[in-house]
Structure 1
Amino acid sequence: MGCGTSFHGEEVKKSERAMKAAILIQKWFRCYMARLEVRRLSALNIFQSIEYADEQAQLQLSDFFSFLLDHFTDLNKKDSELMCRLFSASRICDPDSPGDKLKEYERMIDVPPSYHGPRLSFPLTVVDINAILQAFKHRQLLHARYVLQLLHETKKVLKQMPNITHLSSSYFKEITVCGDLHGKLDDLLLIFYKNGLPSGENPYIFNGDFVDRGRHSMEILIILFAFLLVYPNDLHLNRGNHEDFMMNLRYGFTKEVMHKYKHHGGQILQLLEDVYCWLPLATVIDHKILIVHGGISDTTDLELLSCFERSLVKSVLMPPMPTRTEKTQLQTYAKNQALASGFDKMPRVPYKNAAFIDRCDRSGELSRKEWKQVVDILWSDPRSRRGCFPNTGRGGGCYFGPDVTTKLFAKYGLKMIIRSHECKPEGYDICHNGRVVTVFSASNYYEEGSNRGAYLKLNPDMSPRFVQYQVSKTTHKKTFNQRVSLVESTALRALRERLIGRKSELVAAFQQFDPGDTGKISVADWVSVMDSVLNLSLPWRSLCTHLAALDPEGRVDYLSCFSHLQVQEPVLEAHSALVETLYRYRSDLEIVFNVIDKDHSGLISMEEFRQMWQLFNAHHHVDVDDTTIDHLAQSMDRNKDGSIDFNEFLKAFHVVHRHDPRWSTREETPSPTTADDETW
């Protein structure tokens, strides 16, 4: 009896120890995973802050073009040809649209027998769409002739649509809403695989930002436009802030088109500008759910958005350019748009009052008020803070609080806003007490493993259901720690590159806290400088040890912030200040150049380069004299043919990263011998 009891007691103790060990391991593992998640979210915060700062710089280009317009008369007298080329897209110098000649041009493009991709015939059928999908899965290109025909037919369909599309859920079991895709073709194909292809029984709404950043933006547009032509009542597209030719110049889509369609890329891009401006601005389901790309503001007016001529908004980055048309044409257009939009059926919307008609009864001009309405719905973001205030992160649109949402809902009888525009770690987010939903469909947006993608399904009672996914051929081959480490290292690299463009300002600010010229300052002073100069909402104190070296007393060696990278100078004689200036403004210069370079040849004459810099300098007051710029331009003209390969010129100003083993010495992993693990 005694032995049996003793044996039983030992078993109980072993069981208790095993349970305690299991609980301890689980607790440790949860803490470990929580730390990894904090690191991932911190890296995403860096990516997002840099992304918004870039968008802010992009939106500030509207100020540059406003400056040119304000001084258009004076500048046109000096450089009439250059000004004409800058604003031809705005109908100042080239009022004739090439649309009428497009069909004739398309017939002149031969499809050679050597082309093995899809051969399309219009009107398109489901068979054509399947052929396109199969071709793109095998990374084949659609011939330029079919691309132009597709865009031409898409434009005709879009022109028949209202500014705000109205849908009824009574015809469908579920409606699928997809957010930003940003050229991520694999994400779109996975959505179709999991959720089925668009059809009369399976409707989709794609909420903007189809292009830029990813490598397959052209393929995504072709697929979506093809489905639109076959199912115009079941596939719906909203315009995003990246459906804008000015955004495409900075974020990669223009280069993608010119790379894939070298001979006809210019015509494709020109036609795409027209297609963009005819995309609907919003979708409303059952008069209860508003779907817009960005958000709303305290001045959002759905009545006004439903009636003005949306095709006048070529780019929200270009200031409104009034164009005169017949008054009767606008009256007819406004009347048809108001009727087609369905607002006459919505409760508490007296759109037929005299004041409403008067707002539309103008002579074909795009007012600044209308332009601002479009900027707000394409660029705004929700926040928990009450009120409506400028979107300082992006530089355009606004932040809108729950009270702004409540006000709009009361005015129009809405119950939910579905929007996109922001990368979310899990692919979606819900705020404002469940009334504002964000859905983002591009997984691995910043880096492999950085975020999931998601799409949203609405059933007949309009309750949202989210489907998450993450597309990658390599993501699941790495541990979660390895994926987080990759995201971290890429984020820090991008942040270090950000420092180069502001090096002079940063060093000057650091030296104000270092009167003895010791090269070292306190952590608090370092944080203050980084925050004030870079204007990035980041936890600088925690980032300090990752960006700079500290001495034994805990003081920051501020010059060490720049010791791991440098701008490769394209010309040995180039002054360091000039190199820094050109690196800082290289994206803006590229955009201005591409606007001038209408044929997208990549070549710019010496005179055009000089004129471009003079215009840019007149606005930014950059302290670089013309003689220095001329010297740099001449040295870049290697073959002395009077032209500069501007793409090569820009590539010369890239950041060189120096290898430093210090960045890979710290590891936070249960297996410290992992070879390809990088951490902060």
Structure 2
Amino acid sequence: MEGKESCVDPPKVNGEVDGNIKENAEKVKEQANKCFKDKNYEEAIRLYTEAITINSESAVYFANRSFAQLRMENYGYALEDASKAIAIDKKYIKGYYRRASAYMTLGKFKQALRDFEAVVKVRPHDKDAKLKYTECSKIVKQKAFEKAIACDDQKKPVSETVSLDSMSVESTYEGPRIPDGGIDESFMKDLIQWFKDQKRLHKRYAYQMLLEIKDILSKLPSLVDVTVEKDNKLTVCGDIHGQYYDLCHIFEINNLPSKENPYLFNGDFVDRGSWSVEVILILFGYKILFPQHFHMVRGNHETDNMNQMYGFEGEVKEKYGGNMMGLFSEVFNWLPLAYCVNGKVLVMHGGLCEQDGVTLNDLRQIERNRQPPESGNMCDLLWSDPQLIKGRGTSKRGVSCQFGPDVTQKFLQDNGLDYIIRSHEVKQEGYESQHNGKCVTIFSAPNYCDQMGNKGAFITLRPPDLKPQFTQFQAVEHPKMQPMAYANSFMRMPGMF
């Protein structure tokens, strides 16, 4: 697996690692540090692994690799490396910082708090440690309070409390207005430009769109079968992550959605990027306009925990107030978990399941109107990743699993499929074909988080063979707004990521 070191102990003299061994390992570590600084995190991980292979008794190497794993969103690996750093040197503060960061990304706030408590005990006058401890403590207390006051059986869904008639549109509002006959192509074109100009859609129309899309999505099965007719095509896009101006660039390259130009967006529309509201409203608008020709799959970031940490909830509250976030959550719960194209290609955000023998009918039967569980088919469709070796492995993310080429082949044979398309992972070229071409990853957020330097890509599928055709594109300029601008304050702290 990526980032795993040899278990061979380095040569020692009088119980200490040989000086030449240390020197060689340090040289490799310095190369890794340079790669990290250059944002080449995959190569940094490889070099840190090489340094660890030379000298596996350095807490620094494990902590540094943990940091690089965090940048690659390999939270499970990051947690494991930070724990190894702590096991080597229990007083190594960065090890606790890294492990706390990994715990936070996995929503394990109490465990993160325990690590910061350990840091504060060792460094009681460390201002940075105190700040992180205080912020983490606030999150834990907030979660406990929310749990204490929760009355889910009595609380009405936001969708049942919204009154559009009570939301008047001021005469001073100059933005797009939904016509009496409903959303049309003219409204969508105006909305795209309005958002490009960094202006907000009136909340009355935003609520109207959310109520309408909820009604549309709730009538769909968890696995949707879609047919692409002869002489037509389907464009499949991967993660967008709030990168609105790159979404607009896709539409410029490949034309706007229409009945003749259908799209499928494969999850992770929101979070991290700071125009997630604009992205999701445009996508919902086109789903409303072309319900049979515009498709959306739920990603692991269309969930409450992710939205609380990575910015979407903060962005919605900033732009529209807190009540709307509850409605977004309801809508996200109804997003389908997978699509099957012409009975040949299965599209899901994450990947295949941890258990053998899963059928397409099993996926159709998933009760999806909820927050994803920590295990099971729903969790796997959102979170799993492919691996190069056969069988299944522990998840590098700390959630679900990794699946090998044999797992993919058996699933395809059992269900009469040609291959799968998934997203969920940044790829330097915007896409990657694995498992002998049977597992294709597509990622459509170029220069992810303004730091990864990757290309974006989308797939064009044409009958009858549906062979994937890839179109790559570079990131475009956007207004000066940092990614994660609306994320939880803890996530924006120096040294966390």
Q: Secondary structure at the match of 1:169?
A: coil
Indicate conservation of the 8 Å contact 2:387/2:405, yes or no: yes
The residue identity in structure 1 corresponding to 2:342 is D
C-alpha distance 458-258 of structure 1, shift in aligned 2 (>3 A):
same
C-alpha distance 406-53 of structure 1, shift in aligned 2 (>3 A):
closer
**Paired residue for 1:464?**
468
The Cα offsets for residues 311-360 of structure 1, whole Å up to 9 and x where unpaired, read as 0x2244xx6xxxxxxxxxxxxxxxxxxxxxxxxxxxxxxxxxxxxxxxxx
* 2:336 pairs with one of 280, 286, 308: 280
Q: Shift in Å at residue 298 of structure 1?
A: 4.2
C-alpha distance 290-41 of structure 1, shift in aligned 2 (>3 A):
same
Deviates more, 1:301-310 or 1:266-275: 301-310
Matched, 1:308 2:347: no
The Cα offsets for residues 164-184 of structure 1, whole Å up to 9 and x where unpaired, read as 111112255211000000000
**Paired residue for 2:103?**
57
Q: Shift in Å at residue 377 of structure 1?
A: 0.9
C-alpha distance 231-146 of structure 1, shift in aligned 2 (>3 A):
same
**Paired residue for 2:455?**
452
**Paired residue for 1:85?**
146
Indicate conservation of the 8 Å contact 1:59/1:396, yes or no: no
Alignment of 1:183-582 (within 5 A): 183-261=242-320, 265-299=321-355, 300-311=358-369, 313-316=370-373, 372-391=376-395, 393-448=396-451, 450-460=453-463, 461-473=465-477
Q: Specify which structure has the higher proportion of helix.
A: 1
Q: Shift in Å at residue 238 of structure 1?
A: 0.2
Question: What 5-or-longer segments of structure 1 have no aligned partner?
Answer: 1-34, 66-80, 320-370, 475-489, 491-586, 592-646, 657-680
Indicate conservation of the 8 Å contact 2:107/2:305, yes or no: no
Indicate conservation of the 8 Å contact 2:354/2:376, yes or no: no
Indicate conservation of the 8 Å contact 2:456/2:474, yes or no: yes
Q: Percent identity?
A: 36
C-alpha distance 652-387 of structure 1, shift in aligned 2 (>3 A):
closer
Q: Shift in Å at residue 267 of structure 1?
A: 1.6
Q: Shift in Å at residue 44 of structure 1?
A: 7.1
Alignment of 1:36-185 (within 5 A): 41-42=40-41, 49-51=69-71, 52-54=73-75, 57-58=103-104, 60-61=106-107, 85-86=146-147, 92=152, 94-102=154-162, 104=163, 106-121=164-179, 123-170=182-229, 173-185=232-244
Indicate conservation of the 8 Å contact 1:167/1:283, yes or no: yes
Alignment of 1:578-657 (within 5 A): 654=494
Indicate conservation of the 8 Å contact 1:163/1:306, yes or no: yes
Q: Shift in Å at residue 473 of structure 1?
A: 3.0
Deviates more, 1:282-291 or 1:440-449: 440-449
Mapped partners of 1:379, 1:456: distance in 2: 21
Mapped partners of 1:452, 1:42: distance in 2: 15
Mapped partners of 1:271, 1:286: distance in 2: 33
C-alpha distance 61-138 of structure 1, shift in aligned 2 (>3 A):
closer
TM-score normalized by structure 1?
A: 0.51
Q: Shift in Å at residue 62 of structure 1?
A: 6.3
Q: Shift in Å at residue 258 of structure 1?
A: 1.6
Mapped partners of 2:74, 2:295: distance in 1: 31
> Number of matched residues?
377
Q: Shift in Å at residue 111 of structure 1?
A: 1.8
Indicate conservation of the 8 Å contact 2:391/2:404, yes or no: yes
Q: Secondary structure at the match of 1:457?
A: strand
The residue identity in structure 2 corresponding to 1:445 is Y
Mapped partners of 2:44, 2:384: distance in 1: 18
The residue identity in structure 2 corresponding to 1:472 is V
Indicate conservation of the 8 Å contact 1:172/1:201, yes or no: no
Q: Shift in Å at residue 152 of structure 1?
A: 0.6
C-alpha distance 110-152 of structure 1, shift in aligned 2 (>3 A):
same
Mapped partners of 2:159, 2:468: distance in 1: 41
Mapped partners of 1:141, 1:250: distance in 2: 23
Question: What 5-or-longer segments of structure 2 have no aligned partner?
Answer: 1-33, 46-66, 77-101, 112-141
Mapped partners of 2:110, 2:427: distance in 1: 32
CA RMSD of aligned residues (A): 3.2
C-alpha distance 653-232 of structure 1, shift in aligned 2 (>3 A):
closer
Indicate conservation of the 8 Å contact 2:35/2:43, yes or no: no
Q: Shift in Å at residue 444 of structure 1?
A: 0.7
Mapped partners of 2:289, 2:149: distance in 1: 33
Deviates more, 1:463-472 or 1:49-58: 49-58
